[in-house]
Structure 1
Amino acid sequence: MAPVTYSSVQGIPLAFASCSIGCGPSDTLPRKLEAIRKAGFTSIELSFPDIIDHGTHLLGQPVQPNDYTKLLCIASEIRKLCDANSLGIMMLQPFANFEGWPKGSAEREDAFSRARGWIEIMRTVGTDLLQVGATDTSSNKISTNRADIITDLRELAQMLEKEDFRLAFENWCWATHAPSWKSVWEIVRDVDRPNVGLCLDTFQTAGSEYGDPTTSSGLIENVSQEKLREKFDASMDELATSIPPEKIYLLQISDAYKVSPPLEDKVIGGLRARGRWSHDYRPMPYDGGYLPIEDVAKAVLKTGFRGWFSMEIFDAGPDGKGKKYELDDFAKKAMVNMQKLLKSCTDN
């Protein structure tokens, strides 16, 4: 495993997901970008909902998610905003519900139509990276067959490769075919394309293997806490020694609140408990969370990876009902806590 020295982490580029800041309609994209820039981040993950929202402000009317004529015009304006703030656009996200639809189905046709549209947006905003989240196969239509998933991702990779674009595949802790770092890594490994790598995430990793929002302890309870910790540590050691650093494209950073009372263990609003946890209960590091996210970040750094660390948080407060804050202060605190995390992950 690669040593993690303080000097080696000082050059890590830092990004902020545009969807991860702002607590009300007055927090427009221009205001968010200004706060991110002033805090010292050098790039953003551009969230598709932010494109829609910014377009609504620009045009004074709702923008449909498949109206690519309007979306490309909006994307062009967003690129100008980022240039004015000296911010790069590191990635477009989150591309979801893509892989596994039956051949010939309307859903599969829509998935590939969306892919073509998003590739056009990527070209317009000047990013080469598309985040794809592992599909939640709770729909009976979606295949859980590994060969089907790999075939679809290879086809998307080929579409992206024509533009010299890359695909960052992410495990979502509520997904049924790739909830963990290992499951998503095995898919990326088997897809075996040079432009396909990993989007790893401290919350998604610890939230799938250590935490559980449906229990009073906030932990997975089908084993003892001692055994749970032992298994998690072994998993992090395996991550550190099994993933080539060049197959990691970024690490997203967030923690999680321990939910009290625990979330109901059922699908509500189309989301499983872990999905709802991910959507509303994810603070920045050192701001009320409890997951072992330092251990995840350390494991990723031990692979030798020194690429993007990106703050992706969804902080609606410990009760998930909303949290008010001032944009500049929030972004500056995120930078301070990101630096604290990096320093905490070093060996010296």
Structure 2
Amino acid sequence: MHTSIATVCLSGTLEEKLQAAASAGFDGVEIFTQDLVVSPTSPDQIRRRAQDAGLSLDLYQPFRNGVELEAHAFQDSLRRLNRTGELMNQLGTDTLLVCSNVASSAVADDALVAEQLHQLGEVAQEHGIRLAYEALAWGTHVNTHDHAHQLVMDADHPAVGTCLDSFHILSRGSDPADIAEMDPQKLFFVQLADAPLMHLDVLSWSRHHRVFPGEGDFDLVNLMSHLVRSGYSGPVSLEIFNDSFRQADVHRTAVDGLRSLRWLEDQTRRTLAGEMHDGAVRDRVELQALPEASAPSDWDFVELRTTSLGHTTRLLHRLGFRLGGHHRSKDVQVWLQGPVRVVVSEAGHSTRREPHVDPRARSEHQAVAEVSGLGFHVEDPAAAFARAVELGSTPVPREQLPGEVTLHGVYAPDGTEIFFGTGCADGLPEWLSEFGVEEDPLGAGDLITGIDHVNVAQKWQHYDEDVLFYTSALGLTSTPAQEVPGPSGLVRSQVMCSPDQTIQLPLNLAPTAAEQGSFVGVAYPEHIALASTDVREVARRAHRRGLKFLGIPENYYQDLITRFDLDAQTVDELRELNLLYDRDDHGDFLHFYTRTLGDVFMEVVERRGYTGFGAEDAPVRLAAQYRLQQSHQG
């Protein structure tokens, strides 16, 4: 499949955009008019630069309000097209995007529009270029893909074809099934964009909220399947208007874009596997498959990286963990409880974020610690690693001495190290032997029974990117996003889950103001939620060992009585142990929070059929963390 990306998707200059697209591995680009107009580089030089980078220039766009015009206005359209054709000859691109008219003066006469498209086609043919006519979803009279395609067919000119844009099709709720029956020779170009479902006027929705395939709610696999059935063999290009993308790093956005196309290509191939095998699909687009990889079946480990080893290991000890051992060749420890393995590595500085405070004056609350790595059990680690790398992920460099276990790892877009391993029959992964752990580490006093979930904080620039990464590389699926109020704004939370719900990974987007410093250190700290069947006893043991719980206000407990009609004795016990309580249709939920340790804290949860994540309690936690942070700053 020939992959392309519109320069409007990317930040930076036109020259930087070409370099980023080539570096990411795209086959070609669409040149957006404004990017060329503001560039000091001539069209001929742009052509040579693209050729040197191995990029084809697949489309020049847009040619606006060129049809559906009164006679005098149409003459000017012909003039503009002549000039544009000359420019495209210098640029070395042969396809021009022609948009349907959005002006109130647009003429609603299909016969006239078809005739004007034919006349434009005559001019285009003189310059050796083609016109790809696109129905904008907010077009005055032509705003659906089937209407635009019928006009193209009526124009009956070899230089006039259709451009299909997934956003314009799916934002209007149109059924793309008819694409399968379209003449592929009259389909000149295809543009793809995903988007979250929103109640918003379609123009604003399009201009600000498009995302890459797999990052929104549109069924692009279905649309692509119909496109392949038609026999289309041209470029498949990304056209994304998104405020965040235009401000993010150009290279990582390009990598994310190609990842989305490779994932979509693989998903489409799988959907059409039976039809392709039976020869029912006119397979003119060669759909490449990604390496087969199953979703994670369990947690292998969580890694904490810390600049204060003492504070971090004391927190683990107070929660009931015990030191399993030190790695034989690296400055790393492993702490164990039940089936949970927490790897602790010491670093001189924070690797995923800048330290928030002066290291010379850190209290336990301020000690920098972060969730630096997540290990997952998968059926085939090598295949999972290969799939992630083919999707543009960067491998994690790891020193390995002879005899040590090979750990396959890649970086998630937010910098978290993701490792793929396999479980063993006796429950012990091979790498534990490098810490001197040779037998089942389960202890009689273990009250932690597993990892319930790991909550990972995201910056606004990378939120959609991480959703796509965990979807495409790990095979997780996303739940609908929720918003939680906090002292510095709303926090958006979206949970990524494995098919059996064993892996649950909430991704949380912190408020922009928090990243600017209004909630320094705990804008939305990450946390590891540990599962237990007796959270009360975990809390009592932790209290005896000196754990500092996150303080919960009295008003919260008074509200519990109102919300759930709990008896006084139960509420007194919750208050004494700093426990929080929630209930849903499936059961009860008890949990407590530790204080933050740099950018991370621990939560211990007891589920009694409950399926949520304590969203009602999250604002209480955020406010308590905020007050604690403010007291330390004061």
Q: Place the TM-score, normalised by the shorter chain, in its bin.
A: 0.7 to 0.9
Amino acid at match of 2:117: L
Secondary structure, in 3 states, of the residue corresponding to 1:315?
A: coil
**2:229 paired residue number:** 302
C-alpha contact 2:137 2:171 (8 A) present in aligned 1? yes
**1:293 paired residue number:** 220
C-alpha contact 1:15 1:43 (8 A) present in aligned 2? yes
| Residue in structure 2 matching 1:335, options 231, 241, 258 | 258
C-alpha contact 2:106 2:140 (8 A) present in aligned 1? no
- Greater relative CO (CA pairs within 8 A, separation 6+): 1
C-alpha contact 1:205 1:296 (8 A) present in aligned 2? no
How far apart, CA to CA, are the structure 2 residues paired with 1:47 and 1:151? Answer: 27
How far apart, CA to CA, are the structure 2 residues paired with 1:207 and 1:125? Answer: 32
How far apart, CA to CA, are the structure 2 residues paired with 1:324 and 1:20? Answer: 10
**2:180 paired residue number:** 240
How far apart, CA to CA, are the structure 2 residues paired with 1:183 and 1:251? Answer: 16
C-alpha contact 1:286 1:337 (8 A) present in aligned 2? yes
Larger radius of gyration: 2
Give me the TM-score of the superposition, normalised by structure 2: 0.41
1:46 matched to 2:14? no
**1:326 paired residue number:** 249
1:134 matched to 2:73? no
How far apart, CA to CA, are the structure 2 residues paired with 1:344 and 1:204? Answer: 22
**2:169 paired residue number:** 205
Secondary structure, in 3 states, of the residue corresponding to 2:71?
A: coil
How far apart, CA to CA, are the structure 2 residues paired with 1:119 and 1:185? Answer: 23
C-alpha contact 1:128 1:165 (8 A) present in aligned 2? yes
| Residue in structure 2 matching 1:32, options 3, 13, 17 | 17
How far apart, CA to CA, are the structure 2 residues paired with 1:274 and 1:258? Answer: 11
C-alpha contact 1:253 1:285 (8 A) present in aligned 2? yes
What is the count of residue pairs matched by the alignment?
271
**1:216 paired residue number:** none
Which deviations, in whole Å up to 9, do the C-alpha atoms of 1:289-309 show, x marking residues without a partner?
A: 112222212111111112210
- Deviation (angstroms), 1:323: 6.1
- Deviation (angstroms), 1:109: 3.7
Amino acid at match of 2:129: F
How far apart, CA to CA, are the structure 2 residues paired with 1:84 and 1:164? Answer: 23
**1:14 paired residue number:** 3
| Matched ranges for 1:1-348 at <5 A | 12-22=1-11, 27-55=12-40, 74-104=42-72, 107-136=73-102, 138-139=103-104, 141-208=105-172, 210=173, 235-241=175-181, 243-259=182-198, 262-263=199-200, 273-287=201-215, 289-317=216-244, 324-346=247-269, 347-348=272-273
**1:220 paired residue number:** none
Q: Indicate how the Cα distance of structure 1 residues 198 and 275 shifts in structure 2: closer, same or farther if over 3 A, else same.
A: same
Secondary structure, in 3 states, of the residue corresponding to 1:76?
A: helix
How far apart, CA to CA, are the structure 1 residues paired with 2:89 and 2:19? Answer: 23
Amino acid at match of 1:279: R
Secondary structure, in 3 states, of the residue corresponding to 1:100?
A: coil
How far apart, CA to CA, are the structure 2 residues paired with 1:113 and 1:30? Answer: 29
Give me the TM-score of the superposition, normalised by structure 1: 0.74
How far apart, CA to CA, are the structure 2 residues paired with 1:114 and 1:176? Answer: 21
- Deviation (angstroms), 1:199: 0.9
How far apart, CA to CA, are the structure 1 residues paired with 2:131 and 2:15? Answer: 27
Q: Indicate how the Cα distance of structure 1 residues 83 and 156 shifts in structure 2: closer, same or farther if over 3 A, else same.
A: same
How far apart, CA to CA, are the structure 2 residues paired with 1:102 and 1:155? Answer: 14
C-alpha contact 1:203 1:293 (8 A) present in aligned 2? no
Q: Percent identity?
A: 25
How far apart, CA to CA, are the structure 1 residues paired with 2:86 and 2:128? Answer: 13
Unaligned runs of 5+ in 1: 1-11, 59-73, 211-231, 264-272
Unaligned runs of 5+ in 2: 274-634
Amino acid at match of 2:257: A
More strand by share: 2
- Deviation (angstroms), 1:340: 0.5
C-alpha contact 2:106 2:141 (8 A) present in aligned 1? no
How far apart, CA to CA, are the structure 2 residues paired with 1:310 and 1:81? Answer: 20
How far apart, CA to CA, are the structure 1 residues paired with 2:207 and 2:191? Answer: 14
